[in-house]
Amino acid sequence: MGAPRTGHARGVAQRSCPPLRGRHAAGASQRLVPRGRHRTPRRRGDQRHHRRRPPRIRRGVSVRTHLDHTERVRAVLDPAFAALADETELIAVHDPALAGRVAAHAVVSPIPLPPFDNSQMDGYAVRVADFGEFGPGARGVTELRIGRTTAAGDAAASHEAGTAAPIMTGAPIPAGADAVIPIEQADPARFTELRRADDPAPRGTVRFRAAPAPGAFVRPRGSDLAAGAPLIAAGTRLTPARIGLLANAGVTELAVHRRPRVLLLSTGDEVAAPGTPLGPGHVGDANTPMLTALMTGLGAEVSAHRAPDLPDAVERVLAAHGPAADLIVTSGGISAGAFEVVREVLTDHGVEFGGIALQPGGPQGLGYWDPDGARVPVLCFPGNPVSSALSAELFLAPALRAAAGRPERLPVDTRELAHAVDSPAQKHQVRRGRFDAAGRVHLTGPSSHLLADLAAAELLAHIPLGVDHLPAGSPIEIWRLDV
């Protein structure tokens, strides 16, 4: 479904960003209200119906929808992240640093998995033919001499006809045996004679009440993966199971994509460094560790810096750390105040700033920092912590997830609102909330300083552009934070 278009004529980064492509990465939010529902004539006093108002977007003030902005951000970030695939590094499969990285190439298995036929159970390896007239599955007592024991780690033995050879889980099936009977199904149901290769010959017998099917409890060579079959495809994220699989197949190191390097710059005279006592008018720096955690968790390598509201200080951080970055992310200093240092400095570099029809996250900046032809993508987020966090989730996280081989979006669902809610019709509002015992959605306040509510949130709820009221019981699209 398409986004409601706002018909803006000017916009953020129109000149400095590549042309739009047909992405609708955030388009799911537009499914919030069922199609046509708002077209049904509303009866007076019908409280179950939401109110949809035509969005009022002020012309000429660079306002665009969050979907428009998403497309523009992706047009900047996707090529930058795609270029990282050209640079690879080798990481040992047993190095914990491999977790979450992205394989640069496809890898095929040099061996079959498992590499040899082996037992799925502790029990006796047998030949089905030794069960004579009873045949597979038939009942009747068969007594066999006890053969030599094979344990996990032993080389495959040779099976002597007419014996039941003790075998442990994972041990190679002796050549000639074709089934395993679990010890619980033997009589006696415990090992009475365990003689390994170099021990004296085993003695005694064991009885079975049923003949096994050929292949019973045998894990055949190659039954997990054939030799030459793909272990992982190029672009695959290294999950724990994939790392285990590579190691199981004997792969010792792997070429992975280089991680995106992000320069994070948090600005504000009031933003206190960690560990410093809060002076008057100061606030603890929430955004630096919050955005660092988000980006690191999505596979980026973050170099975080703080600068006061002084253009020279911002320029210094950019000059020192910008050239090594694949992306520059800033927090704060971009709205309408008198000391908007990020906006001031980066406008001079060609980054464009404007308003998005989104709350929180209205002010945004997008473009490139390009002092010496470096052309480093720049994303500027507003300083309010919830605005910064949601901007990162809406605009940056999907691109990082795509680069990291993950699903781009948080899990999406539609739930019932537990209470009525109002929203500014001229903005797409992203609210935070929790589920009640019945799975209905309770929203917390809309303000972008409510970080404690975000920290406790189980969901982000979307109230689309044009909707100014949703009655209790309305379906509402949510993005799950609790999974």
Ligand X SMILES: Nc1nc2c(c(=O)[nH]1)N[C@H]1C(S)=C(S)[C@@H](COP(=O)(O)OP(=O)(O)OC[C@H]3O[C@@H](n4cnc5c(N)ncnc54)[C@H](O)[C@@H]3O)O[C@H]1N2
Q: Which residues bind ligand X (CB under 6 A)?
A: 266, 268, 270-271, 283, 285-288, 331-337, 340, 360, 362-363, 382-385, 387, 448
Integer Cα distance of 440 and 414 in angstroms = 10
Q: How far is the CB of 280 from ligand X (least distance, A)?
A: 13
Confirm or reject binding of residue 382 to ligand MOO (CB under 6 A). Answer: yes
Closest by Cα among 124, 121, 90 to 104: 90
For residues 255 and 283, which CB has a smaller minimum distance to ligand X in the complex? 283
Q: Give, in order, the Cα–Cα distances in Å from 479 to each of 74, 281, 386, 457, 460.
A: 20, 35, 15, 11, 5
Q: How far is the CB of 340 from ligand X (least distance, A)?
A: 5
Confirm or reject binding of residue 331 to ligand MOO (CB under 6 A). Answer: no
Q: How far is the CB of 383 from ligand MOO (least distance, A)?
A: 9
Residue of 142, 267, 292, 387 that binds ligand MOO (CB under 6 A): 387
Confirm or reject binding of residue 288 to ligand MOO (CB under 6 A). Answer: no
Confirm or reject binding of residue 360 to ligand MOO (CB under 6 A). Answer: yes
Residue of 11, 147, 212, 361 that binds ligand MOO (CB under 6 A): 361
Confirm or reject binding of residue 359 to ligand MOO (CB under 6 A). Answer: yes
Provide the 10 A C-beta neighbour count for residue 321.
Answer: 17
Confirm or reject binding of residue 426 to ligand MOO (CB under 6 A). Answer: no
Closest by Cα among 356, 306, 297 to 331: 306
Place of tokens 């199609």: 35
Integer Cα distance of 51 and 38 in angstroms = 8
For residues 231 and 294, which CB has a smaller minimum distance to ligand X in the complex? 294
Q: Give, in order, the Cα–Cα distances in Å from 181 to each of 32, 117, 124, 216, 474.
A: 57, 15, 5, 7, 59
Binds 383: which of ligand MOO, ligand X, none (CB < 5-8 Å by kind)? ligand X
Q: Give, in order, the Cα–Cα distances in Å from 417 to each of 26, 29, 458, 463.
A: 21, 15, 14, 11
Q: How far is the CB of 455 from ligand X (least distance, A)?
A: 13
Q: How far is the CB of 362 from ligand X (least distance, A)?
A: 4
Residues that bind ligand MOO (rule: CB under 6 A) add up to a total of 8
Confirm or reject binding of residue 362 to ligand MOO (CB under 6 A). Answer: yes
For residues 70 and 387, which CB has a smaller minimum distance to ligand MOO in the complex? 387
Backbone angles phi, psi at 89, to 5 degrees: -135, 155
238: left (phi over 0), alpha (psi -120 to 50) or beta: beta
466: left (phi over 0), alpha (psi -120 to 50) or beta: left
Binds 398: which of ligand MOO, ligand X, none (CB < 5-8 Å by kind)? none
Confirm or reject binding of residue 448 to ligand MOO (CB under 6 A). Answer: yes
Integer Cα distance of 369 and 364 in angstroms = 15
Closest by Cα among 298, 272, 292 to 102: 298
- Binding segment (CB under 6 A) for ligand MOO, from list 3-11, 14-22, 170-178, 379-387: 379-387
Integer Cα distance of 192 and 204 in angstroms = 8
For residues 58 and 316, which CB has a smaller minimum distance to ligand X in the complex? 58
Instruction: List residues near ligand MOO by CB under 6 A.
Output: 359-362, 382, 384, 387, 448
